Structure 1
């Protein structure tokens, strides 16, 4: 809902007006998955989906660079999955997302911690053998068990082929040698942070799409916002100095959503309760939703 402090100009349409709880069949849908209890570090990421919705009101529906107005492109807001943590929570997520790809061209899951990458993807595709995965993340997320550090390993164990996984932005001193070896052993393509210093995001995304989408397979995308530099995402507890820029992640969201093989995207690892007063992290997440919406509209 738009804040009373924001000006009302009928010729400057605010992006929150795109969200609809009654239109349940728009090309783009969002669903909140406020998981937080299994996070390795304590977090209140359960507050984030609604914070992102509120932040969307701060932006317009028009993309200047693409000469694209989203005003005629509603977004189905499917609400939040209640209590999505733990074994029972995963089952609730599965029930909530089941069949959504038949109704929508693209689903955006608003986290919540990174554990939702497993629960959402495995709910959308009971058979993961013909699915690809792209992550923008400082971390491999190949830990054992079920937490925000394990979703990629859980998806591999559930049948998603490692050769169709691309991890972009993996950071130095954010992972162990053991999990790096696990990535290699499972055929994961790793594009580390250092590569992004000399390559464009468009080039990297193209490579990732070719690998993850090989053979025409559908693709799930995990945008773990802690891939960004800590200065621009202070509400991401695991973000490091030296991560990618907010603009690079925004570009990625657009390019990824513009590809018809990308069917679902999640936005994770933001703890809205510790954001700065200017809400820079949550506002970036809101822009990721809009960039993805513009990418989808450009297909």
Structure 2
């Protein structure tokens, strides 16, 4: 992990991001609420992903809230941190309800995993009673349609909870990282799959425009899962399943900003990072922190 941010310099004219008040201290509605869902116990790979929400919060202080685009002014937003959910693996229903409580006050919930099991309470909590009309977009190297309960099963579990597979779009699915059986399951469920190679020929904006249209076709809320192992291993070494040849860091950052601009996107999660295994420079955790800021900048544009 990168060094502690306590030694960072101080400058009145260079404010740092991430010093957000607790959600309970703010009366009224929020624009963006950050919440930690530190899932790790059902992971298919050995992980300390439960340490990641705290690491991302720390990394946020390495950055400024300033964006050069004149309409992406984070300072106009009411931002708050709802803290971490206690034991989301063991008390998933309570975790879902906690997200729901935060979502009722927020235009956008940004959930920090944890492994990809965090996607289930993050999405269900944000959707509330709208599961039947909801949509899901994943940036992920994997289908996450496995049997059982693990970080490899959240998409299947959301379908079983009532999500229509025809309003699921999976972006960045990689060769040699999945099986024929789960690819066939995705087809049977009506899931739209946009493989990693498509992003070599199409822009993130173009792909997301298609995905948002599909996921939002019933007029319900959309959850966006940013599984960071969709990225190239050079920029995401702290993701146990990241592989050489994944998408670039700038593509994931762009996805976070463009997705947050869309009025039907009610929640975004950032998952599958084990902060304790990051490179010395903290590059994976820093990418996650920048995705939080990109989402805030996108929300400011709405």
Q: 2:59 is matched with which residue?
A: 55
Displacement after TM superposition at 1:71 (Å): 2.5
Unmatched 5+ residue regions in structure 1? none
Rounded Cα–Cα distance in structure 2 between residues aligned with 1:255 and 1:112: 23
Matches within 5 A, 1:14-25: 14-21=16-23, 22-23=25-26, 25=29
Q: 1:40 is matched with which residue?
A: 44
Q: For the Cα contact (< 8 Å) 1:18–1:71, is it kept in 2?
A: no
TM norm structure 2: 0.95
Matches within 5 A, 1:200-215: 200-215=203-218
Rounded Cα–Cα distance in structure 2 between residues aligned with 1:127 and 1:3: 40
Rounded Cα–Cα distance in structure 1 between residues aligned with 2:85 and 2:278: 23
Over the aligned positions, Cα root-mean-square deviation in angstroms equals 1.4
Rounded Cα–Cα distance in structure 2 between residues aligned with 1:68 and 1:109: 21
Q: 2:219 is matched with which residue?
A: 216
Bigger mean CA offset, 215-224 vs 34-43: 215-224
Displacement after TM superposition at 1:298 (Å): 0.4
1:177 is the counterpart of 2:169: no
1:11 is the counterpart of 2:21: no
Rounded Cα–Cα distance in structure 1 between residues aligned with 2:129 and 2:187: 25
1:228 is the counterpart of 2:225: no
Displacement after TM superposition at 1:52 (Å): 0.4
Q: 2:297 is matched with which residue?
A: 294
Q: Secondary structure at the match of 1:11?
A: coil
Unmatched 5+ residue regions in structure 2? none
Rounded Cα–Cα distance in structure 1 between residues aligned with 2:116 and 2:133: 22
State the number of aligned residues.
296
Displacement after TM superposition at 1:67 (Å): 5.8
TM norm structure 1: 0.96
Rounded Cα–Cα distance in structure 2 between residues aligned with 1:199 and 1:55: 31
Superposed CA deviations along residues 118-143 of structure 1, whole A, max 9, x for unmatched, are 12222332451110000000000000
Matches within 5 A, 1:137-286: 137-286=140-289
